[in-house]
Structure 1
Amino acid sequence: METHQRNVPLTRPQAQQIDLHLVPGVCNRLIAEMALRDVSQHQQVHYLSEITGRALQTVSRWIDPDKPGMPDLRSLALLSLQFGVDANWLLGLCAHRMPFRVDLLPALLVAQLAPERPESSDWLGPLLGKTLGFAAHSIATMHGNDMAPVIQDGSPFFFDGTVTKVDSNGIYYLQYRGQPLVRHIEIRIGEGFLLRCENAQNEPTKVCDLDTSPDLRILGRVTLALNACRL
């Protein structure tokens, strides 16, 4: 792949004559970024002032339709951070809109942008962390109270769809006469298999051979259930 890299700097006359199209390029890109965020025209000045901390009179010059001005260096950096875009794109030095590389920020700046939050507010992270090991598994929803309280009605559960035979005791996702079911399956040596609900009100069912039962099919082994308790 051919790369173009300039090692020789421009001469003074070249540097004086080159047109970087900074104006009104920056103005147009700022307006485009606000349009992506549904900021109406009459709110644009207040919006820019809010995200940069600059005075209304200052930011209004950046998007002046007749003679737009350039943001100062600090404001340009803040605009890049707040809009999540590469500063080179805002300046027109990139042909394509590039995202801001947050992973390249120095640690001190990262700490300022993401201050510590109360531990109680971070509930989604630990919840997702419990499901990371099951990302390759399929997911279904429990219908009915057959497996309550282990799997509550309406709770999502993960199952390993690669397991289509019962080699050990456990909770399995089944299809019986076209209907999905979840059951404990116990291997009874010399007797066959016992299918039972967690809910004791339902009677268990004995099956001699799961493989030869025409109406019963193993869809997978249940690996995780997420029960939510509404109070």
Structure 2
Amino acid sequence: MSEVDLGFSMRMDENQPEPVMPENLFTIRPDTKGPKSVAVILFFGAILLFFLAYSDVALHQAIDLSTEEVETILTTPNSQGDGSEDVTAEQYQDFHDEARASGGYAVRGYGLGLGGLLIFIGSILLFRLKSLGAILSVSGASIGLVAGIIGSVLVKGAADATLVGVLLLTYEITVYLCGVCMVMCLGIAALPLINARSRLALYPQVELVIDSEE
């Protein structure tokens, strides 16, 4: 069989350098949008914590609740039972006194307030891509988590000692709800420190390139 001449030939030069992939082809790029989005969420979360903290601090400082306040609070839970476990105004006042004495309102109120303040400041710094902002936000969320759970448990203990009926379940749910919300807040605050691209935006790496001439 004769060879077919295609009109061209290919020769491989042994000294020809092999193609080199660019070094920065798979380099992780900093993500500046992610931390800023987290900062906005934390900012509004801190404002919500301020309202919750103010409510608890106000309850801690209130020695006696007015009759109108107690009736407003008890209207819904008392209407859900058969009347045998209705909570009276005197019972709820005893619960309020016990909750104040246990320090539940104070621990939760001041703890959430301090945590909210750190998150508020941290969110502003994080929006400016400062690593300190992420650290402050994580610290604030951690303080809020611990103080929120401890304070809610103390308030629940006061409820177990003085209340009956639906309100017992309400204060038990509050413990879990506070814990879940603060865990979510802590997770969101930690995202810029965990995500590789967001972390590069907070901790930019300076590369020094030296060109040498032969």
TM-score by length of 2: 0.20
Query: By percentage of residues, which structure has more strand?
Result: 1
- Between 1 and 2, higher relative CO (CA 8 Å, sep ≥ 6) is seen in 2
TM-score by length of 1: 0.19
Query: By percentage of residues, which structure has more helix?
Result: 2
